[in-house]
Amino acid sequence: MRLVLMAAISGFATFFLVVVLSGCGPKAFTKGDYDDPTRVELLDDKFNEADMQQMADTIVNAMVSCQYVSKAANPPIVSVERVQNRTEEHIDTVSMTDKIRTALIKSGKVRFINKDERGTLEDEYKYGESGKISAKTAKKRGKQIGTDYLMSGALATNVQEVGNDKFIYYKLTMNLTNVETSTIDCTEEREIRKKYRKRSIGL
- Cα(83)–Cα(24) distance, integer angstroms: 42
Could you tell me which residue, 150 or 23, shows the higher pLDDT? Answer: 150
How confident is the model at residue 31, as a pLDDT? 54
Phi, psi angle pair for 161, to nearest 5°:
-120, 125
Residue 117 lies in a domain: yes
Residue 85 lies in a domain: yes
Phi, psi angle pair for 141, to nearest 5°:
-70, 160
How confident is the model at residue 48, as a pLDDT? 84
Residue 40 to residues 8, 43, 52, 87, 176, Cα–Cα distance (Å) = 52, 9, 11, 22, 30
Total domains in the chain come to 1
Confidence class for position 17, pLDDT limits 50, 70, 90: low
Residue 159 lies in a domain: yes
Residue 140 lies in a domain: no
- Pick the closest to residue 177 from 165, 167, 186 (CA basis): 186
Could you tell me which residue, 180 or 48, shows the higher pLDDT? Answer: 180
- Cβ burial of 74 (10 Å; 0-12, 13-18, 19+) is exposed
Residue 187 lies in a domain: yes
Residue 115 lies in a domain: yes
In this prediction, residues 54-60 reach a mean pLDDT of 94
Q: Are 189 and 55 in contact (CB under 8 A)?
A: no
Residue 124 lies in a domain: yes
Reply yes or no on whether the pLDDT at 171 is more than 90.
Answer: yes
How confident is the model at residue 16, as a pLDDT? 53
Reply yes or no on whether the pLDDT at 19 is more than 90.
Answer: no
Confidence class for position 5, pLDDT limits 50, 70, 90: very low
Q: Dump pLDDT digits (tens) for 76-86.
A: 999 999 999 99
In this prediction, residues 164-188 reach a mean pLDDT of 94
Could you tell me which residue, 23 or 102, shows the higher pLDDT? Answer: 102
Domain span holding position 77: 46-132+145-197
Residue 18 lies in a domain: no
The SS3 of residue 154 is strand
CATH code of 95's domain: 3.40.50.10610
pTM for the model stands at 0.72
Could you tell me which residue, 71 or 36, shows the higher pLDDT? Answer: 71
